[in-house]
Chain A
Amino acid sequence: MTNALTVTGLSRGYGAIQAADGIRFEIAAGEVFGLLGPNGAGKTTTIECVLGLVRPDSGSVQVCGIDALAQPQVARAKMGAVLQATGLPDKITPREALEVFGAFYPAPLKSDALLDRFGLREKQGAAYDTLSGGQKQRLALALAFVGDPQLLVLDEPATGLDIQMRRELHDHIREMKAASRAILLATHDMDEAAQLCDRIAVIASGRIVATGTPAELIVGGGSLEDVILTLTGGLR
């Protein structure tokens, strides 16, 4: 069966800094794959290469068997994403955003269903600049789901969310997993990674330094946090 995502030998440098250096991993359908590492480790660069926002210096990215570097538009139709820093026009409403964004996909989900699913029904006609931070994040998630993606890419999606919103986010991720969709999750939150991820890649200085299930990574004892800190050079 074709992997939802296959990344091979992905490298990307910015001047003297090698942000991604030979990154290699794959994600199967129905799998939640975590990217863990400290700030500047290369998580976001890897994700930007996967999404086609940044062209890698070398390597390949295949999304559902599609070469994402050769056919980025076709690959993007299979993906949904929530990035750390994106926005929407100030005066757009959640309903308009869902309908306009949905027009780009071959089989978009219904706006009404997404408004209900992400708790935005009451705010469907409100301007984006009047939404709270949590509501904006819900809309970002709803927009990531609008194309009914085979692969969901989340770059630290829980940043700034309260506990309830965080739980809702985790529920959405589990629903996606249950629907045999793949999720690539970059996070700082060790608990989140341990709870949600089937496998985790620990990334440091642009390289993957360990890959395995949360249980495999902590086989030597201690917590996942200890393991990550040790692997990334945070504990000496």
Chain B
Amino acid sequence: MTALLSLTFLGLKLNFRNRMAILYGYLFPLIFLVAFWAVYRSDPVPLALHLGQFLTVTILGSACFGLPTTIVSERERGVWRRYRLLPAQGWVFLASVLLSRAVLLVTAALLQLALAFAFGMPAPAHPLGLLIAFAAASFAFLGFGLVIAMLVDNVPAVQALGQCIFLPMLMIGGVAVQLESLPAWAQHLSLFFPGRYAVEALQLSATARACPGPDSILPRCC
């Protein structure tokens, strides 16, 4: 346990020494938030109907780029080979990466929420539900990140594969563009993109209204 905590804490410290990691991990989510606020500023209640979307964008960014880039770049430089010489099982190293990434995700989401409240967004209807939904979505998508890291050999390939997953979910998966705005074919296609389910779960916790598309797995309450 000491080793796991030491490695997790080290992962956090190393992340905060990396300017690009801070840029992608914290600045980009805030930029997305401001973009949502600007696009939907005619909403009667600022950002309340888009909380699920901007939190899911943050999770997806970390899962598709942040996590696999860290793992693959370290693997390329022989760091993981060095870790393998240590007297610990592989899950310790993976768990430390996931834990430190989860902490980074939670802090990035808290920053987003703080800025959203500053813009006038009301408090979520079910904070505990939001926390559970956020945790579930985070670990599910971080699993995607691990798969990406396993499949690719180098950092440029992470970017390529990450974009292949990230962009479709944003554009036609109900994450960045609301399902109601999409054509019917895209709404049906979005059923195969897990991002929309994360958006729905988070949004339901935030406003007690899922506002899902026509094929939602959640009860329609809009």
A interface with B by C-beta (< 8 Å): 51-53, 73-77, 79, 81, 83, 85-92, 96, 99-101, 103-105, 127, 143, 147
Complex CA–CA separation, A67 to B86 (angstroms): 16
Number of A-B contacts (CB under 8 A): 66
Report the minimal beta-carbon distance from A84 to chain B, rounded to whole angstroms: 9
Report the minimal beta-carbon distance from A130 to chain B, rounded to whole angstroms: 12
Report the minimal beta-carbon distance from B9 to chain A, rounded to whole angstroms: 8
Complex CA–CA separation, A103 to B86 (angstroms): 10
Is B39 close to A, CB under 8 A?
Answer: no
Report the minimal beta-carbon distance from A5 to chain B, rounded to whole angstroms: 15
B6 contacts A91, CB within 8 Å? Answer: no
Complex CA–CA separation, A89 to B7 (angstroms): 12
| Subset of 15 A-B contacts with CB under 8 Å | A53-B85, A73-B89, A74-B87, A75-B87, A83-B81, A86-B79, A86-B85, A87-B74, A87-B79, A89-B10, A89-B74, A89-B79, A90-B77, A96-B10, A103-B6
* Chain B stretch 1-49: residues in CB contact (< 8 A) with chain A: 2-3, 6-7, 10, 13-14, 17-18
Q: Of all chain A residues, which has the CB nearest B96?
A: A100
Question: What are the nearest 3 A-B pairs in CB distance?
Answer: A77-B87, A87-B78, A87-B77
Chain B residues with Cβ under 8 A from A85's Cβ?
78, 81
Give the dominant DSSP class at A's interface.
Answer: loop
* With known contacts A86-B81, A89-B74, A100–B87 Cβ distance under 8 A: no
A51 contacts B85, CB within 8 Å? Answer: yes
